[in-house]
Structure 1
Amino acid sequence: MSKPVLRADARRNRARVLAAAEEAFAADGLAVPLDDIARLAGVGAGTVYRHFPSKEALFQAVVVERLEQYADEAQELIDSAAPASAFYDYLPRVIEQAARNRAMCEALGAAGGSTYKAETGERFRVNLGALLERAQSAGIVRSDIDTDDLRALIVGALAVERYAPGNQRVVQVLLDGLRVG
């Protein structure tokens, strides 16, 4: 079953709600009131509810959109001629972006993000795994690490970020620990 096509104004309102929600959830996580999101988007609460039946559904939509972006970025890098820079540039970028976004920290920390639209979470996991495998095949990442280990390390880095914001040293230790020799 395909999704119904939204009118142009409804698409614009939905995009405004998603953008406002991403901003609000990034700052406050799930604690942000839905009315605040509606106000930030410049729409009424009824408009938000027409697109998203609950705050949790809106939160999930924001997280899924971001996970899709991470998966797309990884997909673009999989066939890179420079697997070392592809891997070692991508990983800290994801950690930095997710760390600035409380919603992503909460989502990725919840069972490794598996609660967010299975196909999106799986696509992110598969593409992350492909980047890891390419880097391992090139001999630049330890061979005893798998995708689940890497996701756990990302979640750990995000937890550290909560306690020591902006501490790039921790991410560097993580990256150094992944390097061969």
Structure 2
Amino acid sequence: MSPAAVDPAESKPLRADARRNRARVLEAAEDVFAAKGIGAPTEEVARVAGVGIGTVFRHFPTKEALLEAVLHVRLSRFADEAESAVAAESTDPGGAFFAFLTSWIEMSSAKTAYFEALAAAGVTLPVAKSEIGGRLLAALGVLLSRAQEAGAVRPDLVVGELIPVIIGVARAAEYAGPDATLRDRAVSILFDGLRPSAGDRG
């Protein structure tokens, strides 16, 4: 069941109107945090959602609970997109692989801010060992294998080695900040290390 269907404070499904309100709050929170940072006040989320602050706190008693819910929604959606990329079986496996890595890097940059805020509040989320993390790794493994078979990625690379690469590139992208040219250049340089060498291509 999706996170929008059940209130974490309740053991039974929400009424239709409450479910709609919760979904509106989550959507508004994602937009507000993306535009103004995760330090944006909950009151701003309520305003954008078109609900009272009491409605927000009924579903999410703390700011951390709201952040955690938004992060879960974003990661779930990204896992769905990853599985869609696998199901599509692109005619350009290398392009599909690097496009997925780029999306993951962008997601990781945003995710870091959520994790840091939650960690500061004493909340830990072992996403790497979660169901969502498992789905992402499985999708990454399929896309990697296809790209390697197509000769677009070095053959000795394994999925486990890609995770620190993704984290490293995400950090580099964060360091570049608003400088899109520098950010894209850093990603391009690091991606070059994943491509096959002349020897690998025979």
> Which bin holds the TM-score, normalised by the shorter protein?
0.7 to 0.9
CA contact under 8 A between 2:108 and 2:170: conserved in structure 1?
yes
CA 30–81 in structure 1, closer or farther in 2 if over 3 Å, else same: closer
CA contact under 8 A between 2:38 and 2:114: conserved in structure 1?
no
Q: Deviations over 1:51-87 (max 9, x none)?
A: 2232222212211211122211221222514322211
Partner of 2:102: 92
Question: More relative contact order in 1 or in 2 (CA 8 Å, sep 6+)?
Answer: 1
Q: Deviations over 1:133-167 (max 9, x none)?
A: 32223332123333233222222222222221322
CA contact under 8 A between 1:108 and 1:155: conserved in structure 2?
no
The count of corresponding residues between Structure 1 and Structure 2 is: 177
Structure 2: 5+ residue stretches without partners: 7-11, 198-202
Residue 178 of structure 1 pairs with residue 189 of structure 2: no
In the TM superposition, what is the alpha-carbon distance from 1:174 to its structure 2 partner?
A: 2.1
In the TM superposition, what is the alpha-carbon distance from 1:180 to its structure 2 partner?
A: 1.0
CA–CA distance in structure 1, aligned partners of residues 167 and 25 of structure 2: 27
Aligned with 2:137 (options 118, 122, 125): 125
Aligned with 1:154 (options 142, 166, 170): 166
CA contact under 8 A between 1:74 and 1:127: conserved in structure 2?
yes
Q: Deviations over 1:106-144 (max 9, x none)?
A: 357899x96348212222222222222322233321233
- TM-score, normalising length: structure 1: 0.80
Give the match's secondary structure for 1:178: coil
Partner of 1:47: 55
CA contact under 8 A between 1:78 and 1:134: conserved in structure 2?
no
Give the match's secondary structure for 2:104: helix
CA–CA distance in structure 2, aligned partners of residues 151 and 108 of structure 1: 17
Q: CA RMSD in A?
A: 3.0
Partner of 2:73: 65
CA–CA distance in structure 2, aligned partners of residues 177 and 114 of structure 1: 30
CA–CA distance in structure 1, aligned partners of residues 53 and 155 of structure 2: 50
CA–CA distance in structure 2, aligned partners of residues 71 and 131 of structure 1: 13
Kindly name which structure, 1 or 2, has the bigger radius of gyration based on alpha carbons.
2
Tell me the amino acid that sits aligned with residue 143 of structure 1: P
CA contact under 8 A between 1:105 and 1:158: conserved in structure 2?
no
CA–CA distance in structure 2, aligned partners of residues 140 and 125 of structure 1: 19
CA–CA distance in structure 1, aligned partners of residues 114 and 164 of structure 2: 13
- TM-score, normalising length: structure 2: 0.72
Identity, % of aligned positions? 46
